[in-house]
């Protein structure tokens, strides 16, 4: 009797297992399609006729636009261009951490003096792509994607300029949920990333090889420092053929003039140790400092500048505001140490912020600068 019961239980368990397996198979078949599609849409995956990149993949620089997103006419319909306005170019990149690529679209208005509008769209293959950025009215405007997945724009500041002379950079901020203007860390030979990437392309073709040498790059900046070409320049650290960073010391000339030494810090553009050009990212006069504004700050006029330096005739030096062309647009004398001085400036660009430099020039014997890179609001 006991053996009969055990045999019955085994058959009962096997039958139940088969029924359970069949139920699971039927559920999977019925949900293949609508339910699966709904789940994918909830996490923001855009379906397309082109394969999507893995969600964990990190790609830098422009990427091929998938499927119909690569067609200019597709974006003309999305943006609803009219008159002689037409989409001139489209390129894609991963600006955001969400799945899929985003598209940078440039629209040209030839009849209005070559005005350009810049757009960035997300969910680029959905029935209604989402516009996440727009910058309008760029005279002789251009736009491209940097190798750091930022939007780079170029434009002429006024109608008398036939070529772009103002360059800006915008980076997506997850915290703000929008693109924000950002600061290129370089001060010289390039003030902006747009110019730096163009310079790198020129150097790659064999032009201006001095930008591949940390000492030569520093010597070329002596005019910006308000120093003479004969100031001794020596390498303190790095600066080798495959080094990513360098520190250069600029001595005053002649020796014993009472001027301070300058420490200049340089970095390879984009960390490229195989042919990347050098960019000066910090200029620090000995025994000097600027505590406000900090690097990358957005300023408005007037602004408060704080710092310290040895006093010369009761003055710590002259504070200067330099615009993106290294033109002085504001200045004030800093007295006492530490000091706090109010500086007014007149920006040459009134359509937003431009990159610039706040510099304290100490004037004992020879000029000695301490420089901070900032954004200058109008």
**Helix-strand-coil percent breakdown of the chain, rounded to 5?**
20, 35, 45
Nearest to 190 by CA among 355, 358, 371, 368: 355
Look up the CATH number of the domain holding residue 365.
Answer: 2.60.40.10
Question: What is the per-residue pLDDT for 256?
Answer: 65
Residue 132 shares a structural domain with residue 201: no
Q: Is residue 337 part of a domain?
A: yes
H-only helix segments in 57-155: 72-79
Residue 280 shares a structural domain with residue 304: no
Domain count, the chain: 3
Residue 279 shares a structural domain with residue 293: no
Question: What is the per-residue pLDDT for 259?
Answer: 83
- Using CA atoms, how far residue 369 sits from 101, 287, 318, in Å, is 43, 11, 9
Q: Is residue 132 part of a domain?
A: yes
Nearest to 330 by CA among 292, 302, 351: 302
Beta bridge partners of 308: 289
Nearest to 309 by CA among 332, 326, 331, 334: 334
pLDDT band at 348 (very low <50, low <70, confident <90, very high): confident
Residue 249 shares a structural domain with residue 228: yes
- H or E stretch covering 131: strand 130-139
Q: Whole-angstrom distance between the N-terminal and C-terminal Cα of the chain? A: 97
Least confident of 1-15, 188-202, 222-236, 283-297: 1-15
Least confident of 3-7, 27-31, 177-181, 242-246: 27-31
Residue 176 shares a structural domain with residue 207: no
Residue 82 shares a structural domain with residue 145: yes
Residue 17, token pair as written in the block? 């297992």
Residue 272 shares a structural domain with residue 323: no
Domain boundary among 286, 301, 335: 286
User: What are the pLDDT digits (tens) for 57-95?
Assistant: 457 899 999 999 999 999 999 999 998 899 999 999 999
Q: Is residue 29 part of a domain?
A: no
Domain boundary among 254, 286, 318: 286
User: What are the pLDDT digits (tens) for 155-212?
Assistant: 998 878 888 999 999 999 999 999 999 999 999 999 999 999 999 999 999 999 999 9
Residue 193 shares a structural domain with residue 210: yes
Residue 136 shares a structural domain with residue 158: yes
Q: Is residue 195 part of a domain?
A: yes
pTM of the predicted model, to two decimals? Answer: 0.82
What is the average pLDDT across 213-230?
A: 96
Residue 266 shares a structural domain with residue 301: no
Is residue 44's pLDDT more than 60?
no
Q: Domain residues for 328?
A: 288-378
Residue 71 shares a structural domain with residue 176: yes
Residue 157 shares a structural domain with residue 208: no
Coil, strand or helix: which one is 105?
Answer: strand
Is residue 31's pLDDT more than 60?
no
Q: Is residue 20 part of a domain?
A: no
Domain boundary among 151, 181, 211: 181
More confident call, 254 vs 326: 326
Q: Is residue 268 part of a domain?
A: yes
Query: Cα–Cα distance between 196 and 189 in angstroms, integer?
Result: 8
């Amino acid at each position: 009797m006991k053996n009969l019961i055990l045999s019955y239980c085994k058959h009962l368990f096997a039958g139940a297992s088969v029924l359970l397996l069949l139920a699971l198979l039927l559920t999977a078949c019925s949900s293949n399609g609508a339910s699966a599609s709904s789940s994918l849409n909830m996490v923001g995956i855009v379906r397309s006729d082109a394969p999507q990149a893995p969600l964990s993949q990190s790609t830098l620089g422009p990427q091929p636009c998938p499927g119909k997103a690569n067609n200019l006419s597709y974006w003309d319909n999305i943006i609803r261009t009219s008159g002689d306005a037409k989409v001139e170019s489209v390129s894609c990149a991963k600006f955001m951490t969400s799945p899929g690529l985003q598209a940078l679209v440039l629209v040209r208005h030839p009849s209005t003096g070559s005005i350009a509008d810049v757009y960035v769209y997300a969910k680029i293959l959905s029935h209604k792509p989402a516009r996440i950025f727009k910058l309008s009215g760029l005279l002789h405007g251009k736009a491209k994607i940097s190798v750091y997945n930022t939007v780079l724009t170029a434009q002429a500041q006024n109608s008398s300029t036939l070529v772009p002379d103002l360059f800006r950079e915008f980076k997506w901020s997850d915290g703000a949920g929008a693109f924000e203007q950002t600061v290129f860390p370089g001060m010289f030979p390039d003030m902006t990333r747009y110019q730096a990437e163009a310079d790198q392309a020129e150097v790659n073709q064999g032009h201006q090889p001095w930008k591949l040498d940390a000492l030569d790059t520093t010597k070329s900046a002596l005019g910006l420092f308000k120093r003479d070409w004969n100031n001794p320049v020596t390498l303190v650290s790095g600066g080798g053929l495959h080094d990513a960073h360098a520190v250069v010391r600029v001595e005053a000339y002649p020796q014993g003039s009472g001027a301070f030494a300058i420490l200049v810090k340089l970095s390879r553009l984009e960390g490229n140790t195989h042919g990347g050009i050098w960019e000066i990212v910090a200029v620090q006069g000995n025994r000097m400092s600027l505590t406000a504004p900090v690097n990358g700050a957005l300023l408005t006029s007037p602004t408060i500048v704080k710092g310290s330096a040895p006093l010369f005739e009761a003055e710590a030096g002259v504070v200067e505001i330099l615009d993106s062309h290294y033109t002085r647009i504001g200045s004030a004398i800093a007295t006492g140490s530490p000091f706090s001085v109010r500086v007014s400036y007149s920006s040459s660009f009134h359509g937003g912020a431009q990159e610039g430099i706040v510099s304290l020039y100490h004037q004992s014997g020879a000029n000695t600068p301490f420089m901070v890179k900032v954004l200058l609001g109008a």
